[in-house]
Amino acid sequence: MIPIARPDIGPEEIAAVTEVLQSGMLAQGRKVQELEAGWAEYCGVKHAIAMGNGTLALMAIFAGIGLEPGDEVITVSHTFAATANAILSTGATPVFVDIEPDTYLIDAKKIEKAITPRTRAICPVHLFGLVADMDMIRAIADRHGLIVVEDACQAHGAMFRGRSAGSFGHGAFSLYATKNMTTAEGGFVTTDDDALADRLRLYRNQGMRTRYQFEMLGYNYRMTDLAAAIGLAQLAKLPRNTARRQAIAARYDAAFGELPIGLPITPDGRSHVFHQYTLNVGGARDAIVADLREAGVGADIYYPIPVHRQSYIQERGLHADLPVTDGAAEQTLALPMFPGLTDAEQDVVIEAVRAAVERHLGPGAGSAAAAAAGSASR
């Protein structure tokens, strides 16, 4: 089976971890500081604060900005549940708005209608490796005095008009095993806010600046030096691996361009880092996914049940009418996408998609794709 994702772990990461193990400094230490400095520079921000995972990064931001019961945060339902869960962890309420039908990102034109006197923040999700329309979102936030929290957990290195994801507000990144950059588990907060950065460094360390002197209520959200060592090796690889993901996506685009399906788009002024390569194949999605898996292609669905339709959300009365989100949940699938995907493996994926589309969307649907796939292979 060709997996949906495969971490790029090699001798660099092994050597880095071995060095830390031999040093005897395993917990948060020098490697964490090096990784934080490197990520802050990469994103063009003043501060990067390493966290135990991406969910904790989001939770720390929402706690750090002082969210409390009665507050609202505007976000999307077409995302991993951690986006909403981090808001709920403070007692605040996620308010869901719909997404754009082509980018699957928050539809910024719908945000202002969702603002109420209780709204404290807007949390766009830079899904699949593409940054949301941050010009419009920042303008809305500035007009209404709202905080911007970027869920950039899938957008390492993605750009919007020359600026990096995570640099438009307070950003949260995940370093989970399948992300574009990994520490196995881990995360970052990025911010230009000195006071928030200082607060979060205390918050993640049990409230301590000096050992056994507790300045505030805090928790253990720390990253280990073992994880940071992996992250430093991964950061060095990130530009190369991003270019490879983009090349794989371009080859998919060429192979599928004449098929009656929706391909990923990259609006002008943005760069896509392709954490996922997502297709809209319409109502035959589940049958096509079954065919792909039967052919040895690990296609997957992100996300089959939107957050607003999860039982624990509905039990809280957080209902929303999100037809585009519901459509994406029913019609989209993701194909294998990772830097180590070989051309031969991609040929298998392309042929399997062509055959499944022809079978379920009608005769002739795959003939144009066969020619395109052959051209893409040359």
Per-residue model confidence as pLDDT tens digits over 266-282: 999 999 999 999 999 99
Predicted confidence at residue 364, as pLDDT, reads 53
Instruction: Report, as an integer, the average pLDDT of 196-204.
Output: 97
Strands, DSSP E only, in 78-169? Answer: 93-97, 119-122, 147-151, 159-160, 163-164
What band does 362 get if pLDDT is binned at 50, 70 and 90?
Answer: confident
> pLDDT tens across 297-307, in order?
999 999 999 99
Q: Contact at 8 Å (CB) between 17 and 226?
A: yes
Strands, DSSP E only, in the chain? Answer: 47-51, 72-76, 93-97, 119-122, 147-151, 159-160, 163-164, 170-174, 187-191, 208-210, 213-214, 270-271, 277-280, 332-335
What band does 353 get if pLDDT is binned at 50, 70 and 90?
Answer: very high
pLDDT of 26 over the 50 cut: yes
pLDDT of 72 over the 80 cut: yes
> pLDDT tens across 113-158, in order?
999 999 999 999 999 999 999 999 999 999 999 999 999 999 999 9
Chain mean position to CA 131: 10
Instruction: Report, as an integer, the average pLDDT of 324-353.
Output: 98
Residue percentage of the chain with pLDDT more than 90 = 93
Which of 110, 113, 179, 237 is flagged as catalytic? 179
| Spatial distance between the Cα atoms of 170 and 148, rounded to a whole number of angstroms | 6
Q: Contact at 8 Å (CB) between 129 and 104?
A: no
Q: Contact at 8 Å (CB) between 122 and 146?
A: yes
Structure tokens at 298: 């690990």
Catalytic site includes residue 110 = no
Structure tokens at 155: 């957008």
pTM: 0.94
Predicted confidence at residue 24, as pLDDT, reads 86
pLDDT of 371 over the 50 cut: no
